[in-house]
């Protein structure tokens, strides 16, 4: 990935800004390559307790074995061959905290993608502008921006809608895929349709973001509105020009962040200081709501998509998208339902028994339990905010915490002690570090450990152990071909994860 932002023609060498073309000129361009862009920076707080800040819903298998992120990219399989369009390597825009697990998931599903690690969360409009700046490196193209946390049940219909949208985008439009609504849902944005301009395509008259229930019902009954899917298709140059004119501060911050960024292994890291200056705004608010009065050459188009779409925004959407039993229930994991109807129950381990309940959501994880009326699941976000206000860890992390080298599971803790199960992947290692406030005992239960303790270096096999005194530099490495599993017992006055001083880390963490 290069750092200059350029289109197919020229770049101003003094500013590194792209030479942008209008929508009228776009129609004269040859068929352009398609760049899938996956926006994977959300937190998914309404799907707590499964979705958390450090492991949000796009990384979870909410509806199947593949994560939502993996499913988003897998939808492109066969598109190039079937549609006759060149599909470039996808761009995945994710938070810096999630870049390693994102890379692991892409590798597991055999998907090649460029990962851009956002240094901070600045909204979908900034994320897409960052992606457009990256895509402009290879000349003008059509970017297809997709949230990483949505469900598409009918992939062929999705690909057909994308194919229709590409022709309008190539002519200079900013296109969104619209979903014919089935109810007056207050959780979605709505598109008011204007004149029909082609097969399943309409000019966008205006956007309305999450209206009140009565107004949403009126929209559905009128037949003149679609839900906004959040999937946007447009030329790279058209998007950058539109943002530059509508949101100049955002344009300047994102272009500078990309131009001044750095390659860190397989990740591209935009400049944090530049990116922090970008306004925090969504694509809808920053751009789409202004198109009708902005410029006659830059216009919005909605293309119909009927592909079993769901934004999986809350547990009622997951229930609705899932296969149900004869009583309308969805049960996952160790669940017993007795006389229950229209309910959703998910267990990560412990047995859940629901007796004589209706319209209930029950979600169990290792460290939290949610019980909610299915009609009130939008309020789960308020629960998360209260947990944060109380400084509870459950809003941010699971008991099982993933790291670039593997994961750890906090088995037990109390005053002055904590017990963890640590699993290190083959060839991986923890950073060279020390702790000011705790000592550690390590017991190997599987695999072989290469241990650095002060000036010593030695191997530990199964059923062997060692002690790491407080204040001593140490490192744990797995030199073998099977996962290394140890039990770690910490003891000391303070056991927080921030009591780590790193001296060397192969993953670039501070």
Q: Do residue 262 and residue 369 come from a single domain?
A: no
Q: Do residue 297 and residue 384 come from a single domain?
A: no
- 158 within some domain: yes
Q: Do residue 410 and residue 333 come from a single domain?
A: no
CATH number at residue 225: 3.90.550.10
- 142 within some domain: yes
Q: What is the pLDDT of residue 376?
A: 94
Q: How confident is the model at residue 22 (pLDDT cuts 50, 70, 90)?
A: very low
Mean pLDDT of 441-457: 97
Q: How confident is the model at residue 294 (pLDDT cuts 50, 70, 90)?
A: low
Q: Do residue 177 and residue 201 come from a single domain?
A: yes
- The answer to whether residues 96 and 119 touch, using CB atoms and an 8 Å cutoff, is yes
Compute the half-sphere exposure of residue 501: CA atoms within 13 Å on the CB side of its CA: 9
**pLDDT per position as a tens digit, 339-359:** 999 999 999 999 999 999 999
Q: What is the pLDDT of residue 297?
A: 67
| Residues of the chain above pLDDT 70, percent | 93
The number of angstroms, rounded, from the C-alpha of 443 to the middle of its chain's C-alpha atoms is 36
Q: Do residue 454 and residue 321 come from a single domain?
A: no
Q: Which of 260, 289, 313 is the last residue of a domain?
A: 313
Number of domains into which the chain is organized? 3
Q: Do residue 309 and residue 361 come from a single domain?
A: no
Q: Do residue 289 and residue 344 come from a single domain?
A: no
Least confident of 168-177, 284-293, 381-390: 284-293
Residue 15 has pLDDT above 50, yes or no: no
To 10 degrees, the CA torsion angle through 239, 5, 43, 508?
180
Q: Which of 313, 338, 363 is the last residue of a domain?
A: 313
Q: Do residue 354 and residue 449 come from a single domain?
A: no
Residue 485 has pLDDT above 80, yes or no: yes
The Cα diameter of the chain in Å comes to 75
Residue 486 has pLDDT above 60, yes or no: yes
Mean pLDDT of 5-18: 35
Q: What is the pLDDT of residue 259?
A: 96
The boundaries of the domain holding residue 412 are: 400-504
- 394 within some domain: no
- 112 within some domain: yes
Q: Which of 266, 295, 313 is the last residue of a domain?
A: 313
Mean pLDDT of 225-254: 96
**pTM summary value:** 0.86
Mean pLDDT of 174-191: 90
Residue 95 has pLDDT above 50, yes or no: yes
**pLDDT per position as a tens digit, 127-145:** 999 999 999 988 999 999 9
Residue 478 has pLDDT above 70, yes or no: yes
d(CA 45, CA 56): 8
User: For the CA atoms of the chain, what is the radius of gyration?
Assistant: 25
Tokens of 83: 């549609």
- What is the DSSP code string of 27-48? TTSPPPPEEEEEEE----GGGT
Q: Do residue 334 and residue 363 come from a single domain?
A: yes
- 395 within some domain: no
Q: What is the pLDDT of residue 83?
A: 85
pLDDT averaged over the chain?
90
**pLDDT per position as a tens digit, 56-72:** 999 999 888 899 999 99
Q: What is the pLDDT of residue 7?
A: 38
Q: How confident is the model at residue 326 (pLDDT cuts 50, 70, 90)?
A: very high
CATH number at residue 421: 2.60.120.10
Residue 465 has pLDDT above 80, yes or no: yes
Residue 30 has pLDDT above 70, yes or no: no
Q: What is the pLDDT of residue 213?
A: 84
Task: Check residue 188 and report its DSSP letter.
Answer: S
- 2 within some domain: no
Q: Do residue 272 and residue 414 come from a single domain?
A: no
Mean pLDDT of 269-284: 95
d(CA 307, CA 319): 18
Residue 19 has pLDDT above 80, yes or no: no
Q: How confident is the model at residue 241 (pLDDT cuts 50, 70, 90)?
A: very high
Q: Which of 293 and 324 is assigned the larger pLDDT?
A: 324
Q: Do residue 242 and residue 321 come from a single domain?
A: no
Give the burial class of 213: count Cβ atoms within 10 A of its Cβ; 0-12 exposed, 13-18 middle, 19 or more buried: exposed
Phi and psi for 100 in degrees, rounded to 5?
-70, -45
Task: Check residue 457 and report its DSSP letter.
Answer: E
- 21 within some domain: no
Find the DSSP H helices in 223-308.
Answer: 236-246, 248-259, 272-275, 283-286
- 510 within some domain: no
**pLDDT per position as a tens digit, 211-231:** 888 898 999 999 999 999 999
* DSSP bridge partners of 483: none
**pLDDT per position as a tens digit, 99-129:** 999 999 999 888 889 999 999 999 999 999 9
Q: Do residue 373 and residue 500 come from a single domain?
A: no
- What is the DSSP code string of 356-371? S-BSEEEEE-SS-EEE
- What is the DSSP code string of 157-175? HHHHHHHHHHHHHHTT-EE
Tokens of 298: 């830059």
Mean pLDDT of 171-182: 94
Mean pLDDT of 264-280: 95
Mean pLDDT of 431-459: 97
| Residues of the chain above pLDDT 90, percent | 78
Q: Is 219 helix (H, G, I), strand (E, B) or coil?
A: helix
């Amino acid at each position: 990935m290069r750092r200059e932002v350029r289109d197919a023609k020229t770049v101003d060498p003094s500013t590194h800004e792209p030479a942008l073309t209008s929508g009228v000129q776009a129609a004269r361009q040859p068929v352009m390559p398609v760049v899938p862009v996956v926006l994977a920076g959300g937190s998914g707080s309404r799907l707590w307790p499964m979705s958390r800040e450090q492991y949000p819903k796009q990384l979870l298998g909410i509806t199947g074995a593949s994560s939502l992120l993996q499913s988003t990219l897998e939808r492109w399989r066969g598109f190039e061959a079937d549609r006759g369009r060149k599909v470039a390597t996808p761009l995945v825009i994710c938070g810096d905290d999630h870049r390693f697990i994102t890379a692991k998931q892409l590798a597991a599903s055999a998907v090649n993608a460029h990962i851009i690690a956002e240094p901070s969360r600045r909204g979908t409009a900034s994320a897409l502008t960052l992606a457009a700046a990256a895509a402009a490196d290879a000349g003008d193209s059509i970017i297809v921006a997709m949230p990483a946390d949505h469900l598409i049940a009918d992939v062929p219909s999705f690909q057909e809608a994308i194919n229709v949208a590409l022709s309008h985008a190539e002519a200079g439009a900013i296109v969104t895929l619209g979903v014919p609504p089935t109810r007056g849902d207050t959780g979605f944005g709505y598109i008011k349709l204007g004149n029909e301009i082609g097969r399943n395509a309409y000019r966008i008259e205006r956007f309305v973001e999450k209206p009140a229930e009565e107004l949403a019902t009126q929209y559905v009954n009128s037949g003149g509105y679609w839900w906004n899917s959040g999937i946007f298709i447009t030329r790279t140059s058209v998007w950058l020009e539109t943002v530059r004119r509508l949101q100049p501060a955002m344009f300047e911050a994102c272009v500078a962040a990309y131009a001044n960024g750095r390659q860190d292994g397989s990740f591209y890291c935009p400049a944090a200081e530049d990116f922090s200056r970008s306004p925090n705004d969504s694509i809808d608010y920053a751009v789409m709501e202004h198109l009708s009065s902005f410029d006659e050459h830059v216009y919005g188009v909605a293309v119909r998509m009927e592909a079993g779409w769901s934004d999986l925004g809350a547990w009622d959407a997951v229930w609705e998208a899932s296969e149900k039993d004869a009583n309308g229930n969805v049960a996952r994991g160790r669940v017993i339902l007795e006389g229950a109807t229209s309910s959703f129950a998910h267990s990560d381990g412990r047995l859940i028994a629901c007796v004589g309940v209706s319209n209930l959501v029950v979600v169990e994880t290792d460290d939290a339990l949610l019980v909610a009326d299915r009609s009130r699941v939008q309020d789960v976000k308020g629960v998360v905010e209260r947990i944060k206000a109380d400084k509870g860890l459950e809003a941010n992390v699971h008991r099982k915490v993933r790291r670039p080298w593997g994961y750890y599971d906090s088995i037990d803790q109390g005053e002055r002690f904590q017990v963890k199960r640590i699993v290190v992947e083959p060839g991986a290692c923890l950073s060279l570090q020390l702790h000011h406030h705790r000592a550690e005992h390590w017991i190997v239960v599987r695999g072989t450990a290469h241990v650095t303790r002060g000036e010593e270096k030695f191997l530990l096999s199964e059923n062997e152990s060692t002690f790491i005194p407080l204040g001593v530099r140490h490192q744990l490495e797995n030199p073998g071909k099977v996962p290394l599993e140890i039990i770690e017992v910490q003891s000391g006055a303070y056991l927080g994860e921030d009591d780590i001083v790193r001296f060397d880390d192969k993953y670039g963490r501070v």
